Every structure is written in structure tokens, then in C-alpha cells.
Structure 1
Amino acid sequence: MLYKQKILLIHKNKILKKKIAEYLREIDFAVMIAENIEDAFSLAKSIEPDIILWGAALTADAKKILRKIKRSKFCRNAPVIAMIGDIELYDRIELEKNGISDVINADPVLTDLRLKIRLHLEYRKKQEKYEKEISRLQNISEIQYNISIVNDLNRLCELFDDFLYNDYPFDFILQLIYNPKSGDYDYNNFITKDPENNENASDIFEGPVWKEVYFSKKYEGPERISNKKVLDFLATIGLNSEVYYQMPLHANKKPVGVIIAGSTIKQALSNAEFNDLSVLVNSAGQRIFELRKIYGERNVAPQGEPTEKRDIFHRFNDDEIFEYLTKQVLEKLKTDVSIYFNYNKGFRFLYPQYCYQAGSEINLFDDDKPPVLMAKDYPTFEKFLESKKKNAVFNLTKNALPDLAAMTELAGGTYNSILIFTVEIANEVKGYLITANENSMKRFSSVIIKEAETIIRKATDVLMEGRLVKQANQTIKQLDRVFELGKDLTLESHISELLPKIATAIRRTLGWNIVMLDRKNVYENKFENVCYFGVKEKVFKSIQDKYPNTMYSKLKSRCFHQSNSYFLDHKFAQIEIKETDIAVFERKVGKQWNDRDWLFIPILSRGKELGVISVNDPVDRIRPNDDRVRSLEYFANQAAVALENASLFESLKTSETKYRDLAETMTMGLITCDIKGDIIYNNPSFASLMRYENSSSLVGRNIYELASDKASTELEKYVVYESNDDKDDESAYEFGLEVEMLANDNKFVPFKIFLTKSHEHGEKGGFLGVFSDLRPQKRIERLKADFNSMVVHDLRSPLNIIQGYIDIVRNKVVGDISDEQEELLSIAKENCYKVLKLIDNFLIASKLEVGQFQVTPEVNALNTLIESVFENHKILAEKKNIQLELKIDRQVPLISFDKMRVEQVLTNYISNALKFTTHGGKIEIGNRMVSVEKELTGEKQKEIRVWVKDSGVGIDLEEQDKVFNKYEQTEAGKDASLKGTGLGLAICKEIITLHRGKVWVESVPQEGSTFYFTLPVFTPN
């Protein structure tokens, strides 16, 4: 696909804009339209147009945007044609200053516009070609100059490798400098864009083909490689390129070395480029011959840094190392000047610290201190800073960068070739080192840049080691003292003893003569002095009179922030601090201390001020750096712990007293149990309700053993529920749980209990229970039950008489009756039976409410009972054509249960199944023994699971939870033909619960239901 040249169009007339855009698109230009001058720059940046047509008004803002576009990297060479009316020559010159290349009428003749566009694009193409050629020739001149001045064979070869690799489209470069006397190479280097090929470097150097082809007596000239032996070897080692070049280095027609280069671009070099390179290679070969002649035939391989240099670094302090580093880079790179800048990350400013020129041992900044530089004022440098690069090279002759020029001019003079290094310690930027040459033609090779980086790294490694050792020694000393203080920091320690110890430790350990410690009164929101050392009482009183709420509160806003503390510089105590003052303060760190200076260290805990430590008069009389301030903050943290402990201890004592008084005086019972249910604490009310003389009699007793059989099971479930963080039903125990507890007089006392989990040392440690006495309520319920029993008796007697008379008449004792009369009497008797059954259920429900319903367990055979009930219901099942199936587990042992009541449960389950199963359905009755795990203790327990499964109407999921509730019926059960009392399953649940078992249902609507109950395999107490 052919490339379409892009035009950015902006015009104030919408009709003309549309007309021009359509015409240009017809003649195969890609036209992008900017709606206004504000959009012009962003659109130009995104599309990088080949030409700009400007038809908007040339206001001051428009000219500003045009200048910005023309100065940008993406539109530097893009012509701008302004579409305005006829203008004078003077105005045309003014427009050119704003980046406008040509003008045409606002409503131009389209063919004239096309001609102008073509001319300017052609001119631009030629201009770019000339610029590229000039740049190429300039680079050749630079490398030619560097070849002529370099005095080291390795440096010469490195510069040449860099030049070829960076300025030409080569995929790899191999350079070999041959020594005919030794038969070895004085220099060998292999550079490639493919990292995998680097692994073959040694194989490449050792290839015999080089010596056979290029270092024999036969002369090889610069050309594309056609020698089959060389091409085969290159293919063997995986150097697959489209074209290969050979550039032998000769001196006096004798082979000195060879450069082999490959490119995937078929026409990588034009003839002119290759001829220029050939001339350059000959110059390099001649220079190598001259160097050998002057310095002798020797291998000048790159030397590692002498070990003494690292040892030298160890002798210096931090500032001396940075100064020595500046001189070493100057010497190593043989540049004209080196400048070291300290860097402050927080405020982004640079402080010029050291400056050395070639051949001088004088720091130019010793006498004449330059100003602090703000990074934002130096955009090129700021861009390098934000890039986080290790180094960067800038040529100011090719690309004018006024900000970098100004930075190097601090040394006096003009420098055009600049190299910047980042100086880091433990990934923290400490400064920047700039080294520069006046002559822009002097190049920095990648190898020499790496060597300079090695020097910088060794220096920073030593700085890091020294810093770690110094910090470790200081920290060990401080920690020893901190640990000593830590032993005293217990909840029982009195704060009035601990805080003076901390202040004394600061004086002795950190060397501060004056220490004052103030504690904050949170109720009055003011500071109160705890102790002071190093000042006379009279002086301290005068300070208190002047600053009633401490100097810290009054002067905090006039302090410099240092670490997490505040430094009061006496010169700024009465004035507002400006941003520029911060740089002044930073430079004073490590300078002379003034007696009117103060350092305030807040005592903080979770962002809350608890107090402040104020210090003055350091033993060394030096302003502290951040490390020394952090040492003070260690002790402030200890003071914070002491104050927090004191506050916590007071709160604990108050809280304990308050809640113990509440527990001891409340009328309801209160107990705390561990996870096993053993009582840890109980209040006097609980002991009294349980008929014990004192609370200690119940401590250690198990709450489950005190509960009745039924209550014990339900209580375990309640504890498991409360222990579980993810509760399915938050309202399950909203109204507590009714339980019966065995009192000291061997009588059960009814309670309503409310449980919550308790914690011990941050972990779940059991539960807490509140007991409400239900005896008054139960007395009322018993009266109600007695009344209900009386009503039931009074209802049952006449019904029994009615049933008797009906039987007499039906049996024709008093005379014959018709068939119709007999049928009516049968209906009357059946309804009497239903009413009697209703009355019985009502009586049982009344007993359930007051806890008078009991079971009498005896050892029985459950299988025999199930078989008996099964046989009793066969006839009813046959009437409805329902298949009745029995599945008995013959391994079920004899167990203890109330035969009559369990038979009642089975009968109810099967009756319901028959009621809700349609004709032709199926009912399954079965049992099996299973092993289950108790939720609370995890103990294994065996139980017998009994089920009645039908293929009836089923129960909806939302109704399944309420089928065992009193007077509740499912939607199917509300059918008039199937309607019951709603008490049957509730009674079943109570019977099974009294046996310490459980009931539940599983059902799918329209598929059937399965009702279960379980009986434990042990004899209930």
C-alpha cells in the first residue's frame, strides 16, 4: 500500500474548509481537520503531518501555537502555508519568524494550492536528504578526528565499533586487530542485536577462517563478502543476514585487522556511504600502525580497575568520596571538566558541590559557591532525571540545549559534548555527575562509559558499606538502650518513673545536654511537663512563662520538617518559611549548632499526639542529619508505648471495675465458659438461682452436664451457631433458647439463655451466657395447661357419650335403620373421632408449652417397631394403589427409646406420606446406622437414621423450614381435602428432641419428600 502524504488543515470558513479537504483527498492526500487552534497542536502531535494549511486568524495565541508546533520534534520540518490575503514583504518576514513557510489566498485557486503543496513537499524532501547527508558527514568528521587524537589502541577500536553500530543499519559487527608476531589478536569485539548470538562470541573469535582469508599475504579489499569459505562459516555460527560487508584494515598494504558487518537490509549502504567507510577504515588501519610504532607491539587489552582504588575509597568520608569520584571520572574519560551536583529528591533541587577542570587539582566551587538549581528550570535535565536512566550523552552542536549549556557554564567556558551520570546509593539518587568536552567532536565510547559507571558503582558500594556499618554500630548502641527501657515498659510500670528514664537515656546515649519531655492532657488539650534536664529551674520557668503550652505548639508552623520531627532554626523563629528557605536549611545540616536552635520530636501513636520531646545543645555542636533525628524518634516511640500502656492500664482498670460491678449486681445469671463448656466465671445471681451458696461452687462444672438431656443437645447447637462467623440465619436465636438446668436441690430450673462468643488474647476462647429465670412464666403456663386439660376432659366426656349412642343406633339395638341412616351415622362417628384426635393433639401441645411432655425410654428393637407400623398401613396403601416398600438395616442394635412415642412419630410420617401421595405412587420406609461427628467437639457418635420417602406433591424450598413448627402448614396441606391441625410434625419434633435426636425434611416440588429422624445409639440419662 502506497504511503499517503498527510495534511493538517485548519480554516475559519467551514464551507471553504470542506471544499479544500474534498479536493485534496481526491488528489490522494490524507487530510486531517483541526476544528480550532487549541486542537491543532494535539492533532499535529498524533498524526505528524507532512504539511500544515493554516486558514485560521493569526492571533497572538495562534502564532504561539504555530511556534510550538514548529519547534516540536514531530513537525520540525513540516512546511506551513498560511491562507490569508495579500500581505506586504515586511509582514511576510514576520510570518516566517513564526514558522510560516508560504502564504496563499484564504479562498485559493485549488490548482495553485496543489502546486504550492507539491513544491513545499519536494523542498522538504530535499532538505531532509541534505540534513541527513550533512549529519552523516559530520559524524564521519567526528570519528576521523577522534581516530587522529586517540592514543590507545583499545579506545580507537571501541570508538569505531560504536560509530558503526549506532550510525549504520548493521545487525552485527565483528572487529579483529591482528598481531602477526604473536599470532593472536590485540583486540577482538563482537556486537549484535540478537542476544542469542552473544553466546557464540568465543567460537566466532576462534574461527580459523579469519586468519586464512584476511591475515595471509593475499590482499583483500573493502567490498561485499563473496568468499564462500567466509559465508559458510557465518552461516554455521548462526549469523544470518541479507548482506555481509568486509572492511579490512591495512597499513602500507599490510593487514592490520578486519571489520565484518552484516545487515538484513539488502541495500544497507549506498556506494557513497561504503566508499566513505572504506576511506575511514584505511585511516583507522594507518593510526593503529602509528600507535604500534610509537608505543611498541603489545597487547593493550582493557585493564580492570586496580584494587587500590577501592581501598582508597575506604579511607574517605562521604563528601571526600564524591569529590574523589569527580576527579577520577575526569581523569578516566580524559574530558575537559567534571561537575558533581548533590540532589534533593523532596524539593527537586541541585546543589553544585565539586567542579574540576583537566590538569587542575582545585575545586572551582570552594571559593565561589554557585546558586542552588531547581530541576524545573532545566527541562532537558529534568527529563533525564524522570527517565531514571543511568547515563545520557548530549551533543550541543547538533542539538542546542540551553539548559544543559548553562549547567556546564558554572565551570566557566563553553562545553558542547556532555555526558551525565546518575549517582545512586541503595536505589536512592544522591546526585548527578556531569563531565564534558569543549570540542563536540570528541566522542564517548560505550566501553569507556561502562568503565566510568564501574568507578561510580565502586564508590557508591563503599559509601553503602560505610553507611551500613556506621548505622549498624549506632543502631546497636541505641537498641541496647531501647531494649533496657523495653524491659521497664510493662502495664504495671508507673508512667512517672518511665518517662524520666527515657529522657535520661536520650542524654546519655544520643548526646543531648538539654532534654525536656512534655505529656499531652487529652481532656484539657494542653501539654504538661513531665521532666527536664540540662537547664536551671529559673531558665525553665522563663520558657514556661513565654510558652505556656510548650514551644512546640507555638512554633511548630515556623519549623523545618526533618524526618518526622521539627527543627526550629533561630533565624526563622519569627518569620514565615518560604520554599527557597528549605534549600538553605538543607545546606546547613552538619554545620554549627546555635544555642537558640531547637529540635522537637513529637510522641505519636496511631497519628495521635501524646506528647513531645524537646532537645538542645548537642555534645558535638553539629546540626543533626536525618539519621540522628531518627535515633531520637526511636526513643519517642518508646515514650509513646509507655504513654499508651499507661492509658491502656487505666482504661482496663476502669473497664474491669465497671463491668465487674455490673456482673456482680445484676439480677440475671451470668456465666463465662471455655470452648468445652467448663464454667470459668459465674455471678452471684446465677449461683443463687441454681441454689448454691457461693459462685465458686460452680466454677469448673460443665454447663452441658448441668443441662437436661434435651437442653444439652440444643445448647450445643446454640454454641456451634454462635462460634460460626458465617451465619446462614441471623435470626435463628434472636429470642434466645429455653433450657432446663439441674440445681443444687436436684430439681430442674427453667431458664432462657442468650449466648455470645468470648475471646481470650485475641482468639476465640469459649462463650458467655446470660440466664433469665423462667419459673414465674412457667407457673403461669402450668395454670394455663391445667385449664386446657380440664377443658379437654370436659369436651372428651360428652363426645365419648355421643360416640356410644351412635354405636348403639348403628348396631340396631333400638331398631332397624335404613342404609342412608347407617351411612350418616358412620360419618358422624368419623367426625367424632377426628374431634377427639384434635383434642388429644391440643392437650399434647399444651404439655409441650409448659415442659410437661415426657418420654420414657426403654431398651427395644427399633426394627421390630418399624415392621409393625409398616404392616399396619398396608391396607390403607392398597386402597390408594400405593406401593409400600421396606428397607431395614439388620445391623441396627437394640437401643433405648420410648416405643409408644416413636411409634407415634412413625405413624405420623407414614400417614402424611399416604395423605400427600397420589394413586399409583410409592412410599419407602427404611433405616440404617451411621457415624456422625459432633459439630462442637468433633467426637464420633453412632446414630440410627430413619426415613419415610414418598413420591407425592413435594414441598417448596421456602416452606421446608417451617413444616415442624406448631400450627404451620404447607400450601399443599391447606387443601381442604388434606387439611390437618398443623400439630403432628411439631409433636414429632418434640418427641425426637427428647430422645436427643433430630428431625428434618428433604423435598423437591412435584417429585416427592423424604422425612427423617435420628436416634442416638446410647441410653439417655
Structure 2
Amino acid sequence: WVAEHREALIINNVSLDPRFKRLGRIPVGSIICVPLVDKSNFIGTLTASSQEVNAFNEKKVKMLTIFAEQAVLAITNARHAEIAQRQANQLEMLLHLSRSITTSLEPETLYRTILADVQRLVSCDVACIYLYRERRQELYSVAQWSRVYPEKAGIYEQEEADLVDTTDIQHETLSLYDTHAVPSLAAIHRHPMLVAPGQNGQESLSCARLAAPFVSKDKLYGVLSLKRAEAFDSEELRLIRNLSNMAAAALENTSLFQKVRSDQEQLRAILSSSSDGIAVLGIDSCFIEVNAAFGHLFGREPAQIIGMECMELFACNEEEGSDHCRELCMINRALQEEKPLPYVELDLQIQGTPHSLGLSITPVITQDGPFCLLIVHDVTSVRDASRMKANFLSMITHELRSPLNAINGYLDLTLEGIGGELNDQQREFMQRARAGSEHLYALIEDLLLLSRADAGQLRLSREIIQLKDVIINAVEEFELSARDRGITMVIDIAQDFPRLYADAVRIQQVLRNLISNALHFTPRGEKVIVSAYVEDYDALADEGQRVVKLQIKDAGSGIALEYQERIFDRFYQIPDTNNSRSGQGLGLAIVKMIVELHNGSILVESTPGQGSTFTCILPCLS
């Protein structure tokens, strides 16, 4: 009655009042009872009794009420002190648990630590850790603690961590969108979930559930699920939420650690199994790491190469060493330019045996500093095969020139009338046959030139020449072909043009290839212009030296910008052109090679639909 009405009560004769319930064996005649209230919160009652009837009056009620107010203060202070002490103990425990959790980087050790720590904070019958599988959108149980193990009866004196199972559990899989599974609800909402016994129709009626997600930096790593017979309270929810936050950070660290370890193991597996030599060099050009294939290429153990300078390994300081590092080490140049270097091939003596190695050097910029990735291929057999092929091709093309020279000689004799006068039709036939043989001769010269270049046997026969004579001879070769196509050929060169120190045969080969291309792509009724002029200075030549610019201009379909850099590659032909393809894509590659052998360069200016202009820049005779 006092608790319900929050009022003091005096019963002078308990035998006459039905509200009195006798407790114990001590006889009671009268009783007084006052409520204990703290700011409208009822916390109990204070009761005094006497064996006599009519033992209490209003004065004693006031005295007991004053005493009750003091008791309320004492009880409230004691409760606050108890809560503060409990929270301090819990905070100390959480700090301890935080240290033990964050120092665990092995997954199974971390799972055991988390589940053991749960038992120190909240009592439960079953605790389970689920990990989140993002691709499958599901939760997968990886560790479980259970208070009852029928097969492990009698071992409960062990530490909680010893009762955690990570291998022999029945792995449970929950869909992330299973609305009847409390762990799934906690995961999808990223918030702890409480379910009282019987609250969820799909759960056991005698089971309460608490689930807290492991979320770190807005990323879900898993869920901690607890189960017991009695309901969980809000204080236990707060503790588990704090624990799950710390565990989430630990799971994130473990995940990153495992990923780094996995990446390192994968990288080591790739390096060890690669047939190519792979090495990593620092900014001091010393080897940091090499794989077994790299060591095998140089006849050394990988441990012997680590710490060695690349110049020592590649013998760059020796007379027979590589020319690529004479001015600046290739590694340093790659790091300075911060871009991969062009592929190079080196000829080295390795343990007294000549080898050809292909090198790819790529700088890698990281937060910890730059380093270079060096990939080495043994191309000795490829180079030997290429040289043999080039030598064979050189021999064949050289042998083809002898009968072709005989054909050309007899055609020339016939055209000169040695065998008798020719009528107009016969002369035209002979001229066309002579032009065809010249074209065949040019193709053989192209093949011979490339084969000699590949075999390292190409040499120029330079002499003082008149460029005008070379141009006239080259144009005359194509007069009939141009007339048949309805194309006008124009020569624009000054009479007092300076002399050049060049190989006349090779310069004529340059003109022949460029004019042939121009005629092929120029439509009927248009012009092909061959011109030459002198400039006192050009950025592509040495300062103070005059240069000759030899230009062949056509009125063809033009070349798109994206193809202009590749047209000088061997066998490359521009795709999707309206003109039918001819040749093997060697002409411009040969032009570039010959011009560069003369210490010159070649440029192309072209706009689709407006034709192209090829400019060969050659140094004049000093």
C-alpha cells in the first residue's frame, strides 16, 4: 500500500487491519511504514513495528520520515558509487581488452581473444563471430564459444579462450537480407540488435539474442552474436557495442595485414616462377631484390647480386661494356625522367660466353621513394637466328641481282638500237619492261638493305654528289608510270644548288620510295612535286650548319595524326584507306634508316583529305 500510494501509514492494531501481512515469528501489535522516494523515484520503504498496540503517533511518523530522507540520500550515494566503480572496472577491462585485441594479427587468435573477452563482460550461453562476405552478400560463422559442449564435459575449469572453437564448428551461413536472423538485421542496419525471449517468431521461445556489427570506417567486417535464456539489458548492450567497435578496428588491421601478406606471397611466387629475370633496384642503382631466373642469367646466386651496383654487373665501366650507360646510367635516367626507357639489347660476356640480353627498365614511384623494375630476357638464340636469317636473305638478294643486271643490260642495248631499229610500239614495250625491271631491282635493293642492316653490315659509300642529278634520275624512272596514271611530276630545285657529301645510290633509293608512295596515293589529274632548298640553320641540325630540305609533296588522301608516328615502322600499313594496298610496308622504314645514317632526319606533314609532304633534312657539305 505504501509503495502504491507513496504515503506514510500507521496501523495501531494490526489484528484489525487486513493490509498487514505477518512475517516471521515475532509478535507485532502496531506498525509504522514510510516510503523511500528519490525525486519521485520510488526505491523502497522504511518500516518500524512494536508488540504493543497504539505504540506510534504522528510525531514518530515525522521523525521516521526525516530519517527516511537521510536514508534515501545514503542509498542513492551508495548506488552512484557502486555504478561509478562498476563503470570504472568495465572501462579498465575494455582498455585491457583493447590492448589484447589490437595486438592480435592472426585471424584465429583474434577470434579466440574476442570471444574470451565477451565472457568477461556479459554472461551468455553461446557467442559466435560471423564474417561478412561482400561478393556473396552473406554472413559466415568462423568461431563459436558455447557454455555446454556434450563432448567436452568436465573441462570447464579451463580458460574461456580454450573453449573457443574455430575449426570443428558447424559453419553457418546467413543471407544478409534474412529478416528473421538477428545477426543479418544488425549487419544490414549497421546497429546493435536486441531480441527478447519469444519476441521473434522465428527464434526459440526460450532464447534471447544480442547482435552487434563490426563496423570500421563505414565498412562492415562481420557480426558478434550472443544467445542466452534470459533477456539482455541496456547496460550489456552498451558494453558489447563498445567491444564490437574495438574488435572492428582489430579485424580491419587483421584484414589489411593478411592482404599485405597475401600480396607479398603472391609477388614472391610470381618472381620465383617467372622465366624472365626480374630485379628491383634502388635510387643508388644497387639491386634490392632479384629472382632466381635473374641470377641464372648471370650465372650467380640471387644473394650474391643483392647489394651489387648494376654498373658492376653489366660491366659498364669496362671497355667492352655497354654504350648505353656511357653518359648516364640507364637506371638513373629512368628515375630522372620518371618514364620507362625504350627496350634495349646488350651484348655481354657472361662467364666467358657471349650473350645477348634484352632489357626493359621501368621506374616505380611510391610513397617510400622511387625504385626501378628491371626485366631481362635472354635473346641470344633469337639474335643468332635473326643474324642467320639476315645473312641468308642478303646472300639470296645478292644472287638475284646478277641475272637482273643481265636483263637490264640487254634491255638497254635493245633500246639503244644495237639489235636493230625499233618501231614506236616496240620501244614502248621495251621501256615498260625496263621500268618493271627497275621496280624489281628496287625491291631487291630494299630487301638487301634491310638484311645488311639487321646483320650489322650496312655501310654508306659517300662521295661529293649533285643532288639535282640524283633527283632527275629518280623522277625519270617514274615518268611512264606517272603518265599512265594521269599525274604530273614537277621538279623544283635551283640551278646553283650546293653539293652534298652522301651516298648517291641510297639517296636515290630514298627518292624512289617516296615518289612511288606519292604516285600511288595521288589521284588522276593532280601533281607530285619534288623540291629541294637550303636553310642556314635548323633546330634538327648543328648550330651554324646549313641543311638541305628535300621534299616530296602529293595530293593524296592524307594521313591521320594517330598514324603519322607509326608509318616509319617496318611492315606497317595504314588501315582503312580507300586506296588498294601495295608493297610490304618497308619503303618508309628504309627511307628513315638511310636518312638517319646520313645524320639527318625525316618529317611528315599531313592533313586527311589534303595530301602529305615528306621532308628529308640532310647536312650540306661544309
TM superposition score normalised by structure 2: 0.51
The answer for the alignment partner of 1:565 in structure 2 is: 192
The answer for the alignment partner of 2:99 in structure 1 is: 485
1:803 shift after superposition: 3.9
The answer for the alignment partner of 1:988 in structure 2 is: 591
The answer for the alignment partner of 1:1011 in structure 2 is: 614
Listed one character per residue, the Cα deviations across residues 61-109 of structure 1 (whole Å, up to 9, x for unaligned) are: xxxxxxxxxxxxxxxxxxxxxxxxxxxxxxxxxxxxxxxxxxxxxxxxx
Preserved CA contact (<8 Å) 2:190 2:215: no
Corresponding position: 1:669 with 2:289:
no
Aligned counterparts of 2:384 and 2:159: Cα–Cα separation in 1: 80
Aligned counterparts of 1:681 and 1:905: Cα–Cα separation in 2: 50
Query: Equivalent residues in 2 for 1:577-588 (5 A)?
Result: 577=200
Query: Equivalent residues in 2 for 1:38-77 (5 A)?
Result: none
Listed one character per residue, the Cα deviations across residues 760-807 of structure 1 (whole Å, up to 9, x for unaligned) are: 5699965564x5544434444444433333332332223333444555
- Distance of aligned partners of 1:503 and 1:684 in 2 relative to their CA distance in 1, 3 Å threshold: closer
Amino acid at match of 1:907: L
Listed one character per residue, the Cα deviations across residues 849-885 of structure 1 (whole Å, up to 9, x for unaligned) are: xx32566699x99xx99xx536642687798562526
Query: Equivalent residues in 2 for 1:791-940 (5 A)?
Result: 791-806=396-411, 817=421, 828-847=433-452, 851-853=454-456, 868-869=466-467, 872-873=470-471, 880=488, 882=490, 884=492, 903=507, 907-908=511-512, 911-912=515-516, 915=519, 922-923=529-530, 925=532, 929-930=538-539
Higher RCO (CA < 8 A, seq sep 6+): 2
The answer for the alignment partner of 1:648 in structure 2 is: 259
Aligned counterparts of 2:403 and 2:601: Cα–Cα separation in 1: 38
The answer for the alignment partner of 1:527 in structure 2 is: 143
Listed one character per residue, the Cα deviations across residues 344-396 of structure 1 (whole Å, up to 9, x for unaligned) are: xxxxxxxxxxxxxxxxxx99x989xxxxxxxxxxxxxxxxxxxxxxxxxxxxx
Aligned counterparts of 2:600 and 2:128: Cα–Cα separation in 1: 67
The answer for the alignment partner of 2:557 in structure 1 is: 954
**Length, aligned pairs only:** 464
Aligned counterparts of 1:847 and 1:637: Cα–Cα separation in 2: 69
1:950 shift after superposition: 1.4
Aligned counterparts of 1:952 and 1:766: Cα–Cα separation in 2: 48
The answer for the alignment partner of 2:222 in structure 1 is: 609
Q: 1:537 aligns with which of 147, 157, 173?
A: 157
Amino acid at match of 2:246: F
Aligned counterparts of 1:551 and 1:689: Cα–Cα separation in 2: 50
Superposition CA RMSD, Å:
6.7
Preserved CA contact (<8 Å) 1:489 1:642: no
Aligned counterparts of 1:785 and 1:841: Cα–Cα separation in 2: 13
3-state DSSP class of the match of 1:609?
strand
Listed one character per residue, the Cα deviations across residues 687-734 of structure 1 (whole Å, up to 9, x for unaligned) are: 44456675717965389x898879x9xx99xx99xx999xxxxxxxxx
Aligned counterparts of 2:182 and 2:420: Cα–Cα separation in 1: 121
3-state DSSP class of the match of 1:911?
helix
Aligned counterparts of 1:787 and 1:551: Cα–Cα separation in 2: 70
3-state DSSP class of the match of 1:636?
helix
Amino acid at match of 1:911: I
Preserved CA contact (<8 Å) 1:673 1:680: yes
Aligned counterparts of 1:481 and 1:845: Cα–Cα separation in 2: 77
Aligned counterparts of 1:652 and 1:660: Cα–Cα separation in 2: 12
Higher gyration radius (CA): 1
Preserved CA contact (<8 Å) 1:992 1:998: yes
Aligned counterparts of 2:531 and 2:379: Cα–Cα separation in 1: 43
Query: Equivalent residues in 2 for 1:548-559 (5 A)?
Result: 557=181
Aligned counterparts of 2:598 and 2:102: Cα–Cα separation in 1: 59
Listed one character per residue, the Cα deviations across residues 317-368 of structure 1 (whole Å, up to 9, x for unaligned) are: xxxxxxxxxxxxxxxxxxxxxxxxxxxxxxxxxxxxxxxxxxxxx99x989x
Preserved CA contact (<8 Å) 1:603 1:612: no
- Distance of aligned partners of 1:498 and 1:698 in 2 relative to their CA distance in 1, 3 Å threshold: closer
Query: Equivalent residues in 2 for 1:770-785 (5 A)?
Result: 771-785=376-390
Q: 1:635 aligns with which of 235, 240, 246?
A: 246
1:557 shift after superposition: 4.2
Amino acid at match of 1:527: A
Aligned counterparts of 1:974 and 1:552: Cα–Cα separation in 2: 68
Aligned counterparts of 2:365 and 2:230: Cα–Cα separation in 1: 50
Corresponding position: 1:696 with 2:305:
yes
Preserved CA contact (<8 Å) 1:844 1:853: no
- Distance of aligned partners of 1:551 and 1:857 in 2 relative to their CA distance in 1, 3 Å threshold: closer
1:577 shift after superposition: 2.6
- Distance of aligned partners of 1:790 and 1:682 in 2 relative to their CA distance in 1, 3 Å threshold: same
Amino acid at match of 1:639: A
The answer for the alignment partner of 1:47 in structure 2 is: none
- Distance of aligned partners of 1:526 and 1:808 in 2 relative to their CA distance in 1, 3 Å threshold: closer
Corresponding position: 1:685 with 2:293:
yes
The answer for the alignment partner of 1:407 in structure 2 is: none
Aligned counterparts of 2:609 and 2:455: Cα–Cα separation in 1: 39
Aligned counterparts of 1:542 and 1:919: Cα–Cα separation in 2: 94
Listed one character per residue, the Cα deviations across residues 135-179 of structure 1 (whole Å, up to 9, x for unaligned) are: xxxxxxxxxxxxxxxxxxxxxxxxxxxxxxxxxxxxxxxxxxxxx
1:983 shift after superposition: 2.8
3-state DSSP class of the match of 2:293?
helix
Aligned counterparts of 1:996 and 1:828: Cα–Cα separation in 2: 36
Preserved CA contact (<8 Å) 2:343 2:359: yes
Preserved CA contact (<8 Å) 2:450 2:590: yes
Corresponding position: 1:740 with 2:353:
no
- Distance of aligned partners of 1:901 and 1:608 in 2 relative to their CA distance in 1, 3 Å threshold: farther
1:989 shift after superposition: 3.9
Aligned counterparts of 1:497 and 1:784: Cα–Cα separation in 2: 64
- Between the two proteins, what is the percent identity of the paired residues? 17
Please, which runs of 5 or more residues in structure 1 have no aligned partner? 1-361, 368-469, 582-595, 726-736, 933-943, 1017-1021
Preserved CA contact (<8 Å) 1:966 1:983: yes
The answer for the alignment partner of 1:623 in structure 2 is: 234
Amino acid at match of 1:634: N
Determine which structure has the larger helix proportion and give its number: 1
Aligned counterparts of 1:847 and 1:679: Cα–Cα separation in 2: 38
3-state DSSP class of the match of 2:402?
helix
Listed one character per residue, the Cα deviations across residues 271-330 of structure 1 (whole Å, up to 9, x for unaligned) are: xxxxxxxxxxxxxxxxxxxxxxxxxxxxxxxxxxxxxxxxxxxxxxxxxxxxxxxxxxxx
Aligned counterparts of 1:963 and 1:855: Cα–Cα separation in 2: 22
Preserved CA contact (<8 Å) 2:192 2:211: yes
Listed one character per residue, the Cα deviations across residues 812-852 of structure 1 (whole Å, up to 9, x for unaligned) are: 7x67645657776655555443333222112224445xx32
- Distance of aligned partners of 1:800 and 1:837 in 2 relative to their CA distance in 1, 3 Å threshold: same
Preserved CA contact (<8 Å) 1:520 1:527: yes
Listed one character per residue, the Cα deviations across residues 621-651 of structure 1 (whole Å, up to 9, x for unaligned) are: 9732876554233222233235425643653
3-state DSSP class of the match of 1:659?
helix
3-state DSSP class of the match of 2:234?
coil
Query: Equivalent residues in 2 for 1:968-987 (5 A)?
Result: 982-987=585-590
Query: Equivalent residues in 2 for 1:427-438 (5 A)?
Result: none
Preserved CA contact (<8 Å) 2:209 2:227: yes
Aligned counterparts of 1:658 and 1:688: Cα–Cα separation in 2: 17
Preserved CA contact (<8 Å) 2:285 2:309: no
Please, which runs of 5 or more residues in structure 2 have no aligned partner? 1-36, 43-83, 134-139, 148-154, 175-179, 480-487, 542-546
Amino acid at match of 1:869: L
Listed one character per residue, the Cα deviations across residues 250-283 of structure 1 (whole Å, up to 9, x for unaligned) are: xxxxxxxxxxxxxxxxxxxxxxxxxxxxxxxxxx
- Distance of aligned partners of 1:823 and 1:557 in 2 relative to their CA distance in 1, 3 Å threshold: closer
